[in-house]
Amino acid sequence: MATLRETMTTHPITVHPLTTVARAVQLLQTLDFRHLPVVDERGALVGMVSDRDLRSLSIPVLVESESFGDMQRSLDATVSEIMTGSVLSVDSEAPLSEAVELMLEHKIGAVPVVNAEGKLVGIVSYMDVLRVFMAEAA
């Protein structure tokens, strides 16, 4: 089976905790991603923002309230206000199976990959794992 290093996406697109929600939405939509790792100035993983986090803002509810100000405040909020802060991650030296176990156990679609210093070096998603599975099944 392929290794974690072979399967993960290296140099993933990231956001900073002070990135606006509007920018995160734009990145997720433009790049067709579901997860964005959040890193600090040193490149250390500090969280994850996902399409689920953005749905939790309940933009449709805000639209129904007919208050553009409420919707604008949500979009102007920072990623740090909506991200998952204690994010699960896997060490870059771990086997791929460890990342898959985390995804299955916690019902998450992607796991950030960090080095010994806690710096983000990649991300592995269920789609990456499925690609490996299909390649090996062929």
pLDDT tens digits along 23-41:
998 999 899 999 999 999 9
Neighbours of 47 (CB within 10 A): 21
- DSSP class of residue 94 equals S
What domains can you pick out in the chain, each with its CATH number? 4-137 (3.10.580.10)
Which pLDDT score is estimated for 102? 97
Cβ(38)–Cβ(17) under 8 Å? yes
Q: What is the pLDDT of residues 57-112, one digit of tens each?
A: 755 544 455 565 666 676 778 999 989 998 999 999 999 999 999 999 999 999 99
CA gap 37, 39 in Å, rounded: 6
CA distances from 14 to 38, 93, 97 (A): 6, 21, 24
In the block, residue with structure tokens 């905790």: 17
